[in-house]
A and B are shown apart, each in its own frame.
Chain A
Amino acid sequence: MAYTKRFDGRKADEMREIEAKVGVVPRADGSAMFRFGDTVAIAAVYGPRHLHPQFLQNPRTGIIRCHYDMISFSVTDRKRPGPARRSQEISDVTARSLEPVLLLSQFPNTVIDVFINIVQADAGTRCAGINAASLALAHAGIPMTDLVGAISVGALGGSVVVDLTKEEEDYEEDGEKAATDIPMAFTLRDKKVSLLQLDGRVKPEHLKEALEVGRKASEKIYEIQKTALRGLK
C-alpha cells in the first residue's frame, strides 16, 4: 500500500511551518534560528579568527569549521551530550555544503567557526542546521556568493514527499522500514546542489523527482531567508 495520505495532513510538496530569525545570539559575530515545524536549530558564527592548532592553517585560504550537536533535551530519549559519530559526520557534511559559497580566500590562515545546536528535533535537523548556518554566516558579514538552503525529501512507500517528520521517517510497510530520507542543499540563486545524502534504497525516478521537489521547496526557503535578513537593520 502506498503512502498517499500524510500523517499530519500535509500535501506531498508542502513543507512544515518555517520560521527564521537573525541575531539570536548577541555575543556571536553572527547568529540565526531556523525552524521546520518542531525542529529548531540555532547557529552562531565566530570569526574569521585566529586558527589554532597552527598546522591546520592554510596560507592560501581560510577554513570553515562546523560543530553540530543536538542538545540533550532535544529528543525524547535523552541524548548523551558531546560529540558523537553522528554529530561528527553531520558537522563535516554541513561544512562541505556551505564551503562552495564562501569566499574564504580573502582570509588566509584564519578559521570561521560555526556552532549549530539543535534545540528541538523532529527530523530534518541537519537541514535546519544548514539553513540556520547560512543565515548566521551572512549575518556575520562573511563574504559569500550565495545563500544555501537545505531540505529533506523522502521516498515513502512509492511516493515522494517533502520535509519529513520523525513519524514519517520511521514509516513502515508490512513490518519493514519503507522510508528513505534524502537531505539535500542548494545554492539558492543558481540552484546548484551542494549536498545530497541518501541512506537507503530509492528508485532512480524517485531520486529525480525528489531533486525536483527539493529545488521547488528551496525557493520558499530562499524567500524566508531573505526576509529574515532584511528585517534586520
Chain B
Amino acid sequence: MTNKQEFDERPEDMDGGMDIHQDMGYEEKKERKIVVPGEVIATGQNFLPGENTKRDGQNIIATRFGLLDIEERLTKVIPLSGTYIPRRGNVVIGKVVDITYNGWLIDIDSPYSSFLPIIECKGFVSKKDDLSLIYNYGEMVIAKVLGVKGKGVDLTTRERGFHNLEEGMIIRVNSNKVPRVIGKQGSMVNLIKEYTGCNIVVGQNGLIWVRGETIEAELLARDAITMITEKSFVEGLTDKVKEFLMSKTKNK
C-alpha cells in the first residue's frame, strides 16, 4: 500500500507532525519540518542559502521561524508568521486614512505608510477637485504597489481592476497564508469563485474582498478561506476545499 510506504519514508524528527497527519489522512508526500531561528538546516558547501536562511561558516542556519524547504541544493524557510512587507507589483487592499492636497494616505497593514498620489488614480483629477469624492475617508481600495522607497510605499490604481470597494465583505487572514489562498495559478481562488459565484480579490497583505449575490454565498466563501488558512500545511488541499464546497452547495 502506498500509504504505508509514505509513512515509512518520513523522517524521524518531525516532532508531532504525526497526529496532524492522522487527522488529515496521508495526503502529503513530503513532510516539511518546522525550524526555529538559528537552527542548523544543512552542513557543507553543497547547499545554498535561499530565502530566510544564512550561511554561517560550514553551516546554513534558519533566520526565521517556519517550514523548511530543500529543493535539490537550495534551502529556504517558508515563514508561518510575520507582518506584511510590501513588494513592487503586489496587489493590496487598504483603507483610506487621510487625504492630503495631492493624494491619499492608505493603511495597508504594513510597517510602512503608503501613499496614493492623484496622478496614479484613474482619469484626470485636478488638485482643486474634492478628493474625498473619489476615495473617501474610511473607504477600502484595491491598489497595486508601484514601488517601495526607504520611508514609504507608493500605490497606483491606474490599471483596470483597481477601484474602491462599495459592497461585500472584507476578510483578514495571515499574509503568509495568501499564496495558499490563491493556489497554483489561482486554482484555489478560482475554485471558490466557481462554487460560490462570488467575486473575490485577494490582497497580498492578507485582506480579501468577497462580494457575492447573496450573503450566504459570501459566508460560504469566508468559511472556505478560513478552512484554507487553518489547514494550510496539508497538501492536496484544493481537493479538500472542493469537497467542502460541493457538500455545502448540494444542501441548498
Contacts and interface: CB of A to CB of B under 8 A. Distances in A.
Nearest to B40: A189
Contact of A146 (B38, B65, B112, B113): B38
B80 interface: yes
Closest 5 pairs between A and B when the two form their complex, measured CB to CB: A141-B82, A146-B38, A141-B81, A144-B37, A189-B38
Contacts of B64: 141-144
Interface in A40-86: 47-50, 59
Contacts, number: 90
B81 A188 contact: no
A232 B66 CA distance: 10
A233 B111 contact: no
Interface residues of B, number: 31
Contacts of B82: 29, 140-142
A225 interface: yes
Interface string A186-229: 01110000000000000000000000000000000000011101
Interface string B50-83: 0010101000010111100000000000011111
Contacts of A189: 38-40, 61
A139 B113 CA distance: 24
B36 A147 contact: yes
B189 to A, nearest CB: 23
B16 A231 contact: yes
Interface residues of A, number: 34
B151 interface: yes
B34 interface: yes
Interface string B167-179: 0000000001000
B83 A141 contact: yes
11 contacts: A29-B83, A109-B151, A140-B82, A141-B66, A141-B80, A141-B83, A145-B63, A147-B36, A147-B38, A189-B40, A233-B34
A193 B231 CA distance: 39
B65 A47 contact: no
A227 to B, nearest CB: 8
B233 interface: yes
Interface string A125-155: 0000000000000111111111100000000
B112 to A, nearest CB: 7
A108 B150 contact: yes
A59 B151 CA distance: 8
A141 B79 contact: yes
A138 B81 CA distance: 9
A147 B36 CA distance: 8
A146 B83 contact: no
Interface in B109-144: 111-113
B176 A141 contact: yes
B8 interface: no
B83 A49 contact: yes
B16 A141 contact: no
B111 A147 contact: no
A140 to B, nearest CB: 6
A230 B176 contact: no
Nearest to B36: A229
A124 to B, nearest CB: 23
Given A143-B64, A146-B38, A226-B39, 6 more contacts: A50-B111, A59-B151, A140-B81, A141-B79, A143-B52, A144-B37
Contacts of A227: 15
Given A48-B83, A140-B81, A145-B37, A110 B111 contact: yes
